[in-house]
Amino acid sequence: MNTNKTNMKFLVPVLCAGMFIYGGCAKQQSVKLDQPIAQSATTAAAAAATEKPAAKAATAEPATAPLAASAISSGSIPPQSQPQQAAPQAGASQTSALEAIYFDFDSTVLSDTARATLAANLEKLKAAPKAALRIEGHSDERGSDDYNLALSERRAQSAKKYLQALGFPAEKLSVLGYGEERPAVKGEGEEIWAKNRRDEFVIAR
């Protein structure tokens, strides 16, 4: 009986020591097993953090890419950088080029050249059928003011009658005589005076 008690006293400390050692080993194994899990979780979090900026960068790409030159040239996509040009007014260039006609000294008779010029002007006026025409007569400086004023008006009347004969509506024609007040060229001499004996044509819209 005493021997058994002695054995029990000896076994109890041994068993306690064994249990303590076993418990320590189990904790170490648990720690070692948990470390890979923690490391894998950290790696996954880092990978997710790396992928998020890449996804944001892909999303932040501009939605509108430059238009292909072939698409613009083919007409499928209208180029926005080409502003539309305003259409020129019909007949603007034609009616702005009406030519003057010239007269001999102290004469209201239309020369062949003057008749041809009037016919050419009429063709230009067809580009603006709603336009009215004012004929302005002029003279050179020789003679009195009253005489030259009347002479210049008769010259305008000669052109008006001829245009009417060619078919231009009379209600769209008006005449005005300036006499020697508005010379085309200033100075003296037949060459200069010949340029001042004239009819000019003004579009009145």
CATH number at residue 158: 3.30.1330.60
Residue 200 belongs to a domain: yes
Cα separation of 155 and 141, whole Å? 15
Residue 152 belongs to a domain: yes
Residue 171 belongs to a domain: yes
CA-to-CA dists, residue 196 to 43, 61, 67, angstroms: 101, 74, 62
Most confident of 16-20, 26-30, 44-48, 94-98: 94-98
Which pLDDT belongs to residue 171?
95
Total domains in the chain come to: 1
Residue 115 burial by Cβ neighbours in a 10 Å radius (0-12, 13-18, 19+)? middle
Residue 163 belongs to a domain: yes
32 vs 169, higher pLDDT: 169
Most confident of 71-80, 92-101, 123-132: 123-132
Average pLDDT of every residue of the chain: 74
Q: For residue 93, what is the enclosing H or E element?
A: helix 92-95
Residue 193 belongs to a domain: yes
CA-to-CA dists, residue 83 to 65, 66, 86, 161, 189, angstroms: 21, 19, 9, 47, 54
pLDDT digits (tens, 9 = 90+) for 5-25: 555 555 555 555 556 555 554
Domain that holds residue 146: 99-204
Residue 198 belongs to a domain: yes
Q: Residue 30 — very low, low, confident or very high, per pLDDT cuts 50/70/90?
A: very low
Which pLDDT belongs to residue 18?
57
Cα separation of 138 and 152, whole Å? 5
Q: Residue 129 — very low, low, confident or very high, per pLDDT cuts 50/70/90?
A: confident
Q: Which amino acid is located at 88 in the chain? A: P
**Which tokens is 130 given?**
């709603």
Q: Which amino acid is located at 184 in the chain? A: A
For residue 197, count other CB atoms closer than 10 A to its CB: 26
Residue 118 belongs to a domain: yes
- Is the pLDDT score of 149 beyond 80? yes
Residue 66 belongs to a domain: no
| Global pTM exceeds 0.85 | no
pLDDT, average across residues 88-96: 47
Which pLDDT belongs to residue 54?
45
| 166: DSSP letter | T
- Is the pLDDT score of 34 beyond 70? no
**Which tokens is 83 given?**
């502003």
Longest dimension (CA), the chain: 175
